[in-house]
Amino acid sequence: MRAVGLTEFGGPEALTVLELDEPHASPGEVRIRVRAASVVPADGMFRNGALAARLTSPAPWVPGTEVAGVVDEAPDGSPWAVGDEVIAIVVPFHQRPGAYAEHVVVPVGSVGPRPQSCDFDTAAALPMSGLTASALVDLLHLERGESVAVTGAGGVVGSLVVQLARRAGATVLADAAGGDEEVVRGGDYAQQIRQLRPDGVDVLVDAALIGASLLPAVRDGGRAASLRAGQLESERGISIVSVSVWDYAEDSARLRALSSLIDEGALVPPQVRTFAMEDAAAAHEALGRGGQRARSVLVF
Ligand SMILES: NC(=O)c1ccc[n+]([C@@H]2O[C@H](COP(=O)([O-])OP(=O)(O)OC[C@H]3O[C@@H](n4cnc5c(N)ncnc54)[C@H](OP(=O)(O)O)[C@@H]3O)[C@@H](O)[C@H]2O)c1
């Protein structure tokens, strides 16, 4: 099968099309014929070697954490059947290839139904990022009426957090177009939040990984969440919340719930831009440039 991967860490040019043996599903797993795999920030770290310590197999390495596709192997007793259209989170650190491949094998719990209202390309941007946002909002135990400031709200995880926090009854700052004007990039974010909320917000979600300079935005005793563990340290009684999506890599019920929300029109999926799998290097160059406002998706 064809996959996109690397034999040496490096820039986008390190990514090449590889010919690999097809993986096969064992009991408790399914194999998915990948239709689309998204290109997420962690893939850039995988490619440049920043995550090398987590790799457990020799080269070649295949990055990628989320796919949409069709089940094409489902051992007896599987909750999934051949032909099911699905989304899945892929943990790319093991020996089996990551998501940038024509076939991936994942535990049955890593799979959820493809939202029927999304095509495969859009659906591919949902599983890993959606699990992250959903788990984070649950971990924050938001109460109705609480104020939540979200950085990186124009990004994929941030935009999903904004929507899920609003569904939980929170008042979100940095929300959509109006929010973009209220809390502009490059200024003193915390100070601007304080102008809007003199006592500080109840909750901060730093999906842009800006870091400790944001904590003054949070009221004494509030909560602050970072998408990178260890980036924020508690002060003034603020609770620090962190999430690792890998803890939710077999939370099929959560994936099913996300799909349902999208099909009900209660959650707007991320915008995507497609690249042929052969153009993965160009997708990674775009990732490095930032400012995309759409998730790059490799089509297989
Ligand atoms: N802990 C976990 O398990 C977990 C899981 C998933 C993701 N993550 C991490 O979460 C972060 C967000 O992921 P994502 O998929 O949402 O990425 P994304 O789609 O690229 O979104 C990040 C957003 O933050 C914006 N941003 C970056 N620097 C900023 C700044 N200084 N001020 C304001 N906005 C800024 C970006 O804008 P520009 O594009 O214009 O720069 C972009 O809109 C990534 O670092 C990712 O690695 C962690």
Same domain, 230 and 203: yes
Dist. CA 70–CA 43, nearest whole Å: 23
The DSSP bridge partners found for residue 36 are 68, 299
pLDDT of residue 177: 43
pLDDT of residue 174: 64
Q: Are 297 and 274 in contact (CB under 8 A)?
A: yes
In degrees, rounded to 5, the angle at the alpha carbon of residue 36 between the alpha carbons of residues 138 and 77 is: 70
96 assigned to some structural domain: yes
Substitution site in 209, 243, 295 for ligand 1 pocket (most atoms within 8 Å of beta carbon): 209
pLDDT of residue 186: 55
Q: Specify burial of residue 81 (Cβ count, 10 A radius: 0-12, 13-18, 19+).
A: exposed
Ligand 1 centre from 210 Cα, in Å? 9
pLDDT of residue 173: 84
Same domain, 116 and 163: no
Angle between helices 127-140 and 156-167 (to 10 degrees): 40
Ligand 1 centre from 263 Cα, in Å? 25
Same domain, 6 and 60: yes
Task: Residue 207: give its domain's CATH number.
Answer: 3.40.50.720
Q: Are 100 and 19 in contact (CB under 8 A)?
A: no
Residue among 288, 285, 283, 256 at smallest CA distance from 272: 283
For 119, the domain range is 2-126+269-299
Ligand 1 centre from 208 Cα, in Å? 4
250 assigned to some structural domain: no
Ligand 1 centre from 45 Cα, in Å? 13
Same domain, 68 and 94: yes
159 assigned to some structural domain: yes
pLDDT of residue 293: 83
Per-residue pLDDT of the chain (300 residues; tens, 9 = 90+): 999 999 999 999 999 999 999 999 999 999 999 999 999 999 999 999 999 999 999 999 999 999 999 999 999 999 999 999 999 999 999 767 999 999 999 999 999 999 999 999 999 999 999 999 999 999 999 999 999 999 888 899 999 999 999 999 999 986 444 444 544 555 688 898 898 899 999 999 999 999 999 999 999 999 999 999 889 999 999 999 999 999 999 999 999 999 999 999 999 999 999 999 999 999 999 999 988 889 999 999
Last residue of a domain, one of 229, 245, 261: 245
- Ligand 1 binding pocket (C-beta < 6 A) is 40-42, 129, 132, 151-152, 154-158, 185, 207-210, 227, 243-245, 290-292
Same domain, 66 and 171: no
Task: Residue 52: give its domain's CATH number.
Answer: 3.90.180.10
Same domain, 40 and 83: yes
Dist. CA 22–CA 6, nearest whole Å: 17
Tell me the pairing of strands 29-39 and 295-299: antiparallel
Q: 64 is written with which tokens? A: 């990628």
Ligand 1 centre from 32 Cα, in Å? 28
pLDDT of residue 192: 86
Ligand 1 centre from 74 Cα, in Å? 35
Dist. CA 85–CA 1, nearest whole Å: 20
Same domain, 181 and 162: yes
Q: How far is C-alpha 124 from the geometric centre of its chain's CA atoms?
A: 10
The DSSP call for residue 122 is H
pLDDT of residue 14: 98
262 assigned to some structural domain: no
Q: How far is C-alpha 28 from the geometric centre of its chain's CA atoms?
A: 24
Same domain, 33 and 141: no
Q: 202 is written with which tokens? A: 């109840």
Atom of ligand 1 nearest to the CA of 290: 39
Dist. CA 41–CA 33, nearest whole Å: 23
Same domain, 81 and 159: no
Same domain, 25 and 79: yes
261 assigned to some structural domain: no
pLDDT of residue 266: 97
Atom of ligand 1 nearest to the CA of 152: 24
CA-proximal residue: ligand 1, atom 10 (nearest): 227
CB atoms within 10 A of CB 69: 27
Ligand 1 centre from 21 Cα, in Å? 34
Dist. CA 68–CA 14, nearest whole Å: 24
**3-state SS, residue 254:** helix
Ligand 1 centre from 6 Cα, in Å? 24
CA-proximal residue: ligand 1, atom 25 (nearest): 152
263 assigned to some structural domain: no
pLDDT of residue 291: 83
Atom of ligand 1 nearest to the CA of 292: 39
User: For the chain, what is the domain count?
Assistant: 2
pLDDT of residue 290: 85
Same domain, 73 and 105: yes
Same domain, 134 and 120: no
User: How far is residue 295 from each of residues 8, 95, 153, 286, measured CA to CA in Å?
Assistant: 25, 26, 14, 10
Q: Are 149 and 200 in contact (CB under 8 A)?
A: no
Dist. CA 132–CA 246, nearest whole Å: 9
56 assigned to some structural domain: yes
190 assigned to some structural domain: yes
CA-proximal residue: ligand 1, atom 36 (nearest): 152
